[in-house]
Amino acid sequence: MQAKVNVRRFNPDEERPKSYTQQFDVEVEEHFTVLDTLIKVREEIDGSLALRCSCRAAICGSCAMRVNGHAVLACKARVSQHLSDDGQVTVEPAGNQPVIKDLVVDLEPFWDKLRAVEPYLQPAMPEPEAEYLAPNEVMLHLVDVMGCIMCGACVSDCTVLEVDPNFLGPAALAKAYRFVADTRDEEDTKRLGIYNAYGGIWDCTRCGECVQACPKGVAPMDRIMALREKAVESGTPPGSYEGAQYGYRHSVAFEEIITHKGRLEETQLVVKTLGMFNLPKLLGMAPMALSAMFRRKMPPPITRAAPGVGQVRRLANRIRWNRLSKVE
């Protein structure tokens, strides 16, 4: 089977280095992975092609890169499944990280963000004389998140990092959840205070790209949402960062309105999120409100409770009870 492999290349040693795409015609077998194909290119066609790999078994995570615009582990992705109708596939370096050469990226920013969430246990007790054993039932929910292999695929496809490099990123925040949810760790308040700041949990746009990209089912976005929930439950203040304050109030207001009315009141949600006395922000929403009104899409400012709202309230109370049980 013939494959036309379009590789995004970059050589920093050139006088005026710039990225470009080079196409390689490669004879591949049905079982070939993208990594197999790239190694064949390097060994048989162009020995200058730079890429990073190690285990070839989806364990080390070093071969994360973009294939047809989405992050994958090259050793896990079969090239035949990514070929277009005319037999082409595009391979690029992982996104949101500086390119060193060709398909090799600098992971230092990735590790910096990971270190920022303090990825180690901080128990209140003094150093134990023997191993501290946590009950199995309280650790089972951490199995998936502990499966992270630090490949950076989620970081590569994070849409927030594309516009704001200060965002901690899905990998770091998923790792943060691993310790906040660990019963042996006693620094939840401190941790949630750090994650409540600029670049933290409230900056995630919930696009879901990190969930799709993760090769190990860690679901970083779900972990970030769980951290938000824990921040709200614990009453951890969002600090002075405006974005965190809005995100915090939005979550609380959303639940309050649904519980009270059984349906969402968009107008009230905006007011409660921005703050009733935040006139500059509220007035800034006026053009959007007028546009919606002219198109007959403006929701009424006050609505009646939905039929069966009592069932919604009972469900909300049950959810709150379950949350308190988990916290205890």
Q: Are 61 and 155 in contact (CB under 8 A)?
A: no
Greater confidence (150 vs 297) lies with: 150
Q: Supply the pLDDT for residue 212.
A: 96
Output the CA–CA distances (angstroms, integers) from residue 126 to 46, 129, 133, 134, in the order listed. Answer: 57, 9, 15, 16
Question: Which residue intervals of the chain are DSSP H helices?
Answer: 34-44, 108-116, 136-139, 153-156, 159-163, 170-180, 188-195, 209-213, 220-234, 242-261, 266-274, 279-284, 286-294, 309-327
- Rounded to an integer, the average pLDDT of 279-284 is 86
Q: Are 213 and 71 in contact (CB under 8 A)?
A: yes
CA atoms within 13 A on the CB side of 22: 16
For the purposes of burial, counting CB atoms within 10 Å of the CB of 152, is it exposed (0-12), middle (13-18) or buried (19 or more)?
buried
Category of 129 on φ-ψ map: left (φ > 0), alpha (ψ -120 to 50) or beta: alpha
Task: Look at residue 253 and tell me whether its pLDDT is greater than 80.
Answer: yes
Q: Supply the pLDDT for residue 327.
A: 47
pTM of the complete model beyond 0.75: yes
Length of the chain: 328
Q: Which of 36, 39, 50, 44 is closest to 78 using CA atoms?
A: 36
Task: Provide the residue type at 146 as one letter.
Answer: M
Task: Look at residue 328 and tell me whether its pLDDT is greater than 60.
Answer: no
Question: What is the tens place of the pLDDT at every residue in 55-75?
Answer: 999 999 999 999 999 999 999
- Rounded to an integer, the average pLDDT of 28-47 is 96
Q: Are 39 and 53 in contact (CB under 8 A)?
A: yes
- Going by the DSSP 8-state scheme, the letter that residue 93 receives in this structure is P
Q: How far does Cα 144 stand from its chain's mean position?
A: 15
- Rounded to an integer, the average pLDDT of 187-209 is 92
Selection from 167-171, 254-258, 315-319 with the highest mean pLDDT: 167-171
Q: What is the DSSP string of 33-64?
A: BHHHHHHHHHHHT-TT-----S-SSSSS-TTE
Residue ranges covered by each domain of the chain: 2-105, 110-240, 245-327
Rounded-to-integer distance, Cα 116 and Cα 201, Å = 13
Q: Which of 175, 155, 267, 261 is closest to 215 using CA atoms?
A: 155
How confident is the prediction for the chain on average, in pLDDT?
91
| pLDDT category of residue 326 using cuts at 50, 70 and 90 | low
Q: Which CATH class is domain 2-105?
A: alpha beta
Coil, strand or helix: which one is 190? helix
Judge: domain 110-240, CATH 1.10.1060.10. yes
